[in-house]
Each structure stands twice: as structure tokens, then as C-alpha cells.
Amino acid sequence: MRKECHPLLRGGRGDNKYKHGFSTAEMESLTSICEVVLPPLPMDALKIRKEDHDDDDSSNKSLQSFLDISASRYPIPHEVAEMITKRSLIETVILIRVVLWLLATRLGTLLLCGFLCLGENWPYINKFSNISLEKREKIMQKWLKHRFLTPIRLTFACIKVLCLFVFFSWVDENGDNPAWKAIGYEVPADEKMTNTSNTRPLEKGIIETMNESDSTLQQSLANKGLNVTLDSKSNILKVKCDALVVGSGCGGGVAAAVLSSAGHKVVVLEKGNYFTPQDYSSLEGPSMNQLYETGGILASVDSRVLVLAGSTVGGGSAVNWSACIKTPHKVLKEWSESHKLPFFSSQEYLSAMENVCERIGVTENCSQEGFQNQVLRKGCQNLGLKVDYVPRNSSGNHYCSCGYGCPKGEKQGTQDTWLADAVERDAVIITGCKAERFLLESNRSGNGRKKKCLGVTAKTLNSRITMKLQIEAKVTISAGGALLTPPLLISSGLKNKNIGKNLHLHPVLMTWGYFPESNDSEFKGKVYEGGIITSVHKVPSPDSNSDSRAIIETPLLGPASFAALCPWESGQDFKERMLNYPRTSHLITIIRDMACGQVTTEGRISYKLNEVDKENMKAGLKQALRILIAAGAVEVGTHRSDGQRLKCDGIGENEVQEFLDSVCPMEGALSPGEKWNIYSSAHQMGSCRMGVSEKEGAVDENGETWEAEGLFVCDASVLPSAVGVNPMITVQSTAYCISNRIVDYLRRD
């Protein structure tokens, strides 16, 4: 851990008490399941090869400690319970607590566990916590494969995911975890910042509500040049500005910069906090908790998809994996012709992409690739497949995993670029402040829109501030992203049927290959070192209208994310997997999804792939496995629930093909069937899509909502469909064009 970092990113609970509300009986059952997920093992239990692990006393002690330790150890079960109540949907919480309650009784255990709970002594039926560890493991293995009572299976799967995430991300007050040394993981030490200045680039315009109170907030706002009045009767602080932007990510940051450069007084609302490079700790758990929506644990309603979305100043651009790929030509053609939006094939849009790339410092070269990208590149080369370098918004020498913020200060997110430009032109950014509802009134202008937007009501997330904010503006821009903009529009009274629909997620499944470390290995480094995405392979498509069936890239997987997503077959197998963590290379298969989901209520995402998506995903998974085998992996596999894998030593093409023929994307844990998958998503778009009419979209070609004058959307939700590549450049370029059109709107107003 960095010696100096922000207190919120440091870890440790301090004096905070647990508030999960689980009963003693429920905690007893939960603790027993946690012990099954990660049990204590004898030293001779693992199939450890000496050449794979150091033989010094220190390493042996850390290995022995890892084998001895269990996830049942305090405070892990309480942390899991806390995460269940804070991160899960209410129906999931109820389901888990009912199952835990049943397992705390003899009759309930008999119903759920069958004869395995029977003992030799009175009363003969044991509750779950009194069953031997060996039998409890068999019970969990049975439930994770159960074909029909899938809600019970989902309970065990959720606890498994959360237990492993908590265990491998938990840190004490010194930023240490008892398992990290044994599994070969080290948190990056203090990085020397490229920019040696310790200043906060947004200090001039930032108001951090976590440092404010009722007695100070009004004056702080006034000091930033805002017109502020207090309605004491209603306890509402009223603020006036020219343009209000809700959200500070790829869309909101660009909008703030463009509007402020045109001379408008801009206010940006951001519910996350502001961090600078010297604040980042690179600790997976605390960083995910502070920098990602729902702490990085956001699942679809059926738990099929785990969704990653940034929630900090800079939004996704502060934590994304730096890929800067321009909108593919065929996608622009489709949007322009099929969706009848010529804007996307215009010189205006093409110029916007160039302006965006220039402002965020996109470079094409990479002087040194990390372990996973070395594997991807070598495997493609050995197969004669094309592999491209991925442009990034950092220097070509950038060798840093920035998914928890860039401690070197080299990655050019919106907080370092567009928002810095906006603040230089007197924009104000209010952090820890969540928009609740847009202010709408009847519109008498006769332009066809029934309502007119006057601004927004918002609340701070600081309990010391009891007053609400009412921010009035000439134009209001929703830039909260594809997951948050639709619920905000709907809760404000907008009725357009496209709002919240057409949600695309770029669903992801992973494959992995194990490459033991040796002196003669051509792949240097470890899985958590180096740039996250520097190479990409496009799986060819037979369809002339598409660039590819899928793209194959490399992910950032800290030990907790690695553990949470890996299949669990047994406690012993899982500890063996974790000991291989540093040299297990993952490849992600991303598809341009044709199916779409919806998000009309905050936190409730519905999504399912169609048959075309499944076929494209299958093609990508097979190609990724071939790449790993060609690169020299000794073992490869998928994340299918049964632990699907293949040992590669001495096998021929027939065995490889037989294995690949068995690879297929499965449904989620809640769907019938013995095998299942957990999908991931880091790209969400399309949920307020642009359309030529209110029947076709939620906003027009200028980004203005069809129902409310002066209310614009400027984020990934306006994209007509999935992009098929990492969408940062597409989102910022679209936002750049919409923002300039808003400037024209204000000029006419």
C-alpha cells in the first residue's frame, strides 16, 4: 500500500459497528458456509510442485498460514453479512436469510441437506453448523449443481462470491491481508508520480460536501461565485447557474468543459468523492468500495451479470482500463443509415473524435506489455492471427494497472482533462451530492414538448447536512450513465417508452491459462502488473456488416475479483487455484450484444442474451482458448460453474477440438440446468437511445429529451446500440457534439 493515501481508500473498519442485523443463528450458518468455501487444510493436502513455489522458510511459513486459515475467521463472516445487506437486492437478502435460518434448525437442515445431516447419536439430525466439514462440502457441491431448486443454488453461489471477495480484499489498518504473501500478490508500492506536483487540479472549483455542514455549505457555494439563497421555511438551499450537469464521467466532464468554455456558469453534481493520484492506495477492497457503483458488487436482478461502473469524480474514466478505440466505421454507418441518424457519419462527429483523442492524450504505442498482454500477443502470433496495439490515454511508457485509480497520475481521465478545463473557467463541482428529481413545469413555448426543465432537486450524502439543494439552470444535462440516467428521468415524471429500455452491456465471459513461472519463461511479470489492455484480437465475422464476432482483450483481476469469479469445486481445489493466481492469465471475450435489457429503477438491471449473442460468445471463447494453448499454457479453462478445464501437456489436436466442442456459454445460476455462468459487464449503453422520433428514441439528435425542453442527456445511454469496442472515445465524442449543440441552443434562447 502507498504510505500516504486518502483515509477512505486505506481500509480497516475503525470503530464502526456491524449493522447487518443477522441473528446469532443466521451468523452461525453463514460462518459454517464460509468455512466450506475456504477451509483449513493440512500441509500435505495440496498438489504443490516445488518448482512453482519458493522453498525458503518465510515462504513456507506464509504457505502454511494460508493452508491453516479459514474464511470462517472473524471478521470475514460479519463482513460478508454486511455486504449482503448493503449490496444485494431486497429479494436476494430475504432469500439468503431464509436459507440461513433454515440451516440453523434441524428440520430445515434435513429438508435442504437430506441424509448428509444425519448423525449416529441423539437427536440424530444435525443442524448445518454441526455437520462435519467434509459432509458440508458435499452438500454445497450438490447445491451448486442442482438443476431445479435454483433459488437455493443461487443462495450458495452468492455467499461463495461475496465470501471470497471479502476474504481476499479485506485489509487491516496497515493495508495487509494474511493470504497475499502465500499467493504471490503484492500491492504496488509507492509510485513516483510523473507529475511531481501534489496539487489538486480541481481545488479551485470543488466543494466536497463530506467536509461541509448546514452552517458552512451556503457560504462555500457563494464563495465559488454562485447565486445562493436559503429558504429557511422549507430548509432548501436554492442555487442558480446557467448549466447544470448531473454526473462527472465521460459525458458530464466533456459537457462541463464545452459549456464553460462558451462562457456559461456550470455546476456539476457528483455523488462520488474526489480523489487525486496521491490519494490512491491501489488496495482492491477499499478502492472498489469508493470508486465503483455499489462498491463493485452490482448484479442484475437474476444475478446473471456482475456490472462494473465508476462512481467517483471522473466516473468510469477515472477507473477504466485506458482503452481508446474510435467508433468502428461499420457501426457509424449502421447508426447513420439504419437508425437514420446522419449525425454519426458527419464531419462534425469525425472531428469530435480527433478533438477528444487530442485532449485526453491518446497514444498509439506501448513500449512494455504486461504478462497477460504478452500471452495474448504471443498466442495470436503463433496461430497467425492479427493482434493490434490498443491506443491509450497515457504515454507509451505507461506500465500501471489503473483500475483502482492511477497512482502515477499518467492516465488522462476527465478529472484531469475536461473537468480541469471547466474549473479553470469557473465551473463548480459539488461532490457527495445525489440528484433526486428534475424540476419540470408545463411548457408554453409551443415547440411540441409538453414540459420544460428548470433544474434539479438534490440531497447530499453527508448526514450533517439536513437541507436539500434546489439548483435552477437554463439547461440541465443528465450524465449519470446508462444505469442511473433512466431511473432519474422516470422518477421525474418522463413517460417515453424508450427510457430505460434498449440497455446493452457488452457481456463478458473469461477464459484462463496457467503459465508456471520459470527462469526460461518468455512471459515476464505477474498477472496484476503492467498496463491492463494494450493488445486486442478481433474474432473474424462471416457477416460483412460487422467488423468482428467478438473482441478478445485482457482484464484487471485483483486477487478478490479473481477469487469471486473463479469456479468453486472444493476448498482444496480453490486454494490450489489461488496459489497459481500470479501466473494465471485471463482473456476476456466481449461481444457486441444484439439483445438488450432494461433499467427503469435504480439498481435493478434486467438482461438476457439472445441466440446470436450466445453463438458469438461461443466463437470468442473457443478462439481465446486456442490463443492460450498456442501461447504455451500448461492448463486452460473457462469460468463455467463445473470448473471446465484441460491439461495441455502432451495433447493433440483431436483432444483440443473435443474440449473446444464442449465449450458453450451457459445461462445464469437462477436458470434450470446443472451448469451455469456468471457474466461480467464494464460497458453499459443505449438505455436512453437517440432516435429520429419519440417512437424511436428517448432523445433527439441534439440529445434533448422529447418530452422536456431544456433537459438533455449526455452520456453512454444515448448511443443507438452497442458499440462493439471499448466505448470511451465514442461516449466522449458524442458528448462533445451534443454539448456544442447545447451551446447553440443557449445562444438562441
Catalytic positions are: 683
**Cα separations (Å) of 365 from 322, 337, 384, 393?**
13, 34, 21, 11
For residue 690, the cross-strand partners are: 699
Mapped onto helix, strand or coil, the DSSP state of residue 63 is helix
DSSP code string of 353-390: HHHHHHHTT-B---S---HHHHHHHHHHHHHT---EEP
Q: Is 356 annotated in some ligand binding site? A: no
Q: Is 71 annotated in some ligand binding site? A: no
Residue count (the chain): 749
Q: For the range 188-194, what are the long-range contacts, defined as Cβ-Cβ under 8 Å and sequence gap of 24 or more?
A: 188/2, 188/282, 188/400, 188/401, 188/407, 189/2, 190/2, 190/3, 190/4, 190/407, 191/2, 191/400, 191/407, 191/408, 192/408, 193/277, 193/278, 193/407, 193/408, 193/409, 194/395, 194/408, 194/409, 194/410
Q: Is 253 annotated in some ligand binding site? A: yes
Residue at grid coordinates 480527433: 354
Q: Is 244 annotated in some ligand binding site? A: yes
Q: Is 357 annotated in some ligand binding site? A: no
Residue 227: count other Cβ atoms within 10 Å of its Cβ. 12
- Grid cell of 268 as nine digits: 456539476
Helices of type H across 414-484:
418-424
Q: Is 247 annotated in some ligand binding site? A: yes
- In angstroms, the CA 68 to CA 313 distance is 41
Give the residue among 151, 379, 453, 432 at the shortest CA–CA distance from 268.
432
Query: Contact 633/514 with Cβ under 8 angstroms?
Result: yes
Q: Is 254 annotated in some ligand binding site? A: yes
Q: Is 246 annotated in some ligand binding site? A: yes
For residue 460, the cross-strand partners are: 433
Half-sphere exposure of 663 (CA within 13 A, CB side): 27
Q: Is 251 annotated in some ligand binding site? A: yes
- In angstroms, the CA 90 to CA 301 distance is 10
Distance between first and last Cα of the chain = 52
Query: Contact 251/732 with Cβ under 8 angstroms?
Result: yes
Q: Which helix (H) or strand (E) holds 589?
A: strand 584-590
* Conformational region of residue 482, where left means phi above 0, alpha means psi within -120 to 50, and beta covers everything else: alpha
Q: Is 249 annotated in some ligand binding site? A: yes
Q: Is 619 annotated in some ligand binding site? A: no
Q: Is 256 annotated in some ligand binding site? A: yes
Annotated binding site: 241-256
Annotated binding site for FAD: 241-256
